[in-house]
Structure 1
Amino acid sequence: MYQVDVLIQGFPGRAVCHGGLGWSTITLLRGEGRVVLLDVGAFGVRKPLAKQLQAHGVRAQDVTDVVLTHAHYDHAVNFTLFPNATVWIGDAELTWAASEPAGFNPLPELYVRELCQSPRVKRIQAGDAFLPGFEALAAPGHTPGHLIFVLRGNEVPIVFTGDAAKNRAELLSRSVADSDDMADSISTLSLIWDCWRAKPGTLLIPGHDLTMVLDASGEPQYIGQREASIAAWFSETLEQSTTIDLCANAGTGLFTDLVAR
């Protein structure tokens, strides 16, 4: 039904001194006459997202649907880049986000206001089959109106968890790092596991990690290889930068000096 490509790889971490990394997963789905983006990322991902869209032959104006798991900035703000897209977001999520006062939290107040006012935005309820093959399920905890999405139309089902399950550690520990309601988050994790186990081979695409599948023993296994690094100018010239590898499999070679060519 859909060709599925992860455009931006989510990262399971946060900066120690400078707040959240905001590196969330963005997935492209094409089929049924639609070009769908599931979550759209934060400001910092705009250049790599544009590059990935171009590599997949997709223009911003080609995107027909933007599907948002929740209203936090690192998943939602780039909906403005896709002028022809219908934007789908949970009614309970948007109602909650709009009622929150401006504060030191991940809600982008002005973008939430635009979501509330834009005629392109369609509010969905838990249980809605709002796009061919998709089902929205209530997944409160991280935010009160968070939704997860189950794609049942493909031969291989896919569970898109957003930040209801940000990474493998949360899935395995049955706990989460950030939650508005921890009891709700734990219940949502059980729902996610039920959806994941429902059919062998089902893929799970989390909010801040690699795609996973359950192996024969029921343990989550990554599909693909993590790529994450930072280039920094620690020397006295712009021609020389230092690459800091943020991947756990980097071994001892975490710092590599690169000379620009």
Structure 2
Amino acid sequence: MHRYQVDVLIQGFPGRAICHGGLGWSTVTLIRGEGRIILLDVGAFGMRKPLERRLQEFAVKPEDVTDVVLTHAHYDHVINFTLFPNAKVWIGQVELDWAALQPPGFNPLPELYVQELVRSDRVLKLTAGEEFIPGIHAYAVPGHTPGHLLFVLHNGENDILFTGDSAKNRAELLSRKVVDTDDEKESAQSIELIWRYWKQRPGNLLIPGHDLSMVLDAQDQPCYFGDRKAAIRIWFSESIEHSDVIDLTGA
């Protein structure tokens, strides 16, 4: 039996800016055990200072990280892999092969970082269905991107599901619809697969790409686990000393 300590370092947020595109606030999770220090998804540029602070809270140095596991190739999930020089980087073969063929475009793929993933000897390509780290399996959940992977950590009595953006938030899980997808039919099938794994054992925890972690109650309704923290500081006055904070938690 494999036992890991799992801590969410950065809590993903289920929203986007109306006039400025994606926020890129995605979930970053720390997994420790079996002699490994693993980061599952690593965020974008705007996440670097919060991620540094959170790693320091857990006494984890960038060079200590042994594995970086990526659900898919979008910028808000992969860019910071470059910060962890000793880590193996795991990404789906279908995903990386697809991303490498895409020309620069108005989409969330970070072209230069994809090129680095392709040529780096630290990168290992995953096949759906394999147990690539003891206790962690990869499963194909295409739709949002063609090679998106679901990761299921078998952690004793309960499993932990990492859905990335195959099911970004509670609304997508309940509606069985993905807002941003390359293939709506594939996304719907992937969400059904996620539900099947989620319901396999009572107490299974689901950690989505852009929302709070959640468990199912007796009626198979998601219940949030943890507290949402999200706000924006703005300067609308003529004084640098004065700013306002807008709370985004919905409280």
TM tier relative to shorter chain: over 0.9
SS in structure 1 of the partner of residue 243 of structure 2: strand
**Mind listing any 5+ residue stretches in structure 1 that lack a counterpart?**
250-261
What is the rounded CA distance, in whole Å, between the counterparts of 2:150 and 2:42 in structure 1? 15
Name the aligned partner's letter for residue 114 of structure 2. V
* Superposition pairs of residues 238-257 of structure 1, within 5 angstroms: 238-249=240-251
Aligned to 1:218: 220
TM-score, length-normalised on structure 2?
0.98
SS in structure 1 of the partner of residue 38 of structure 2: strand
Shift of 1:41: 0.3
Q: Deviations over 1:11-70 (max 9, x none)?
A: 000000001000000000000000000000000000000000000110000000000000
What is the rounded CA distance, in whole Å, between the counterparts of 2:36 and 2:113 in structure 1? 24
Work out whether residues 132 and 153 of structure 1, in 8 Å CA contact, stay in contact via their aligned partners in 2: no
Q: How many residues align?
A: 249
Matched, 1:33 2:38: no
Aligned to 2:6: 4
Coordinate RMSD, CA, aligned? 0.6
SS in structure 2 of the partner of residue 150 of structure 1: strand
Shift of 1:154: 3.4
Aligned to 2:148: 146
Name the aligned partner's letter for residue 132 of structure 1. P
Shift of 1:153: 3.2
| Sequence identity (%) | 66
Aligned to 1:229: 231
Matched, 1:204 2:186: no
Among 42, 45, 48, the alignment partner of 1:46 is 48
* Superposition pairs of residues 145-164 of structure 1, within 5 angstroms: 145-164=147-166
What is the rounded CA distance, in whole Å, between the counterparts of 1:33 and 1:153 in structure 2? 15
Q: Deviations over 1:238-257 (max 9, x none)?
A: 111100111112xxxxxxxx
Aligned to 2:122: 120
Q: Deviations over 1:120-167 (max 9, x none)?
A: 000010001000100000000000000000001333210000000000
* Superposition pairs of residues 123-134 of structure 1, within 5 angstroms: 123-134=125-136
Shift of 1:84: 0.2
Aligned to 1:111: 113
Name the aligned partner's letter for residue 151 of structure 1. L
Aligned to 1:176: 178
SS in structure 1 of the partner of residue 132 of structure 2: coil
Work out whether residues 136 and 148 of structure 1, in 8 Å CA contact, stay in contact via their aligned partners in 2: yes
Work out whether residues 133 and 154 of structure 1, in 8 Å CA contact, stay in contact via their aligned partners in 2: no
What is the rounded CA distance, in whole Å, between the counterparts of 1:198 and 1:239 in structure 2? 53
Q: Bigger CA drift: 179-188 or 151-160? A: 151-160
Shift of 1:222: 0.2
**Mind listing any 5+ residue stretches in structure 2 that lack a counterpart?**
none
SS in structure 1 of the partner of residue 113 of structure 2: helix
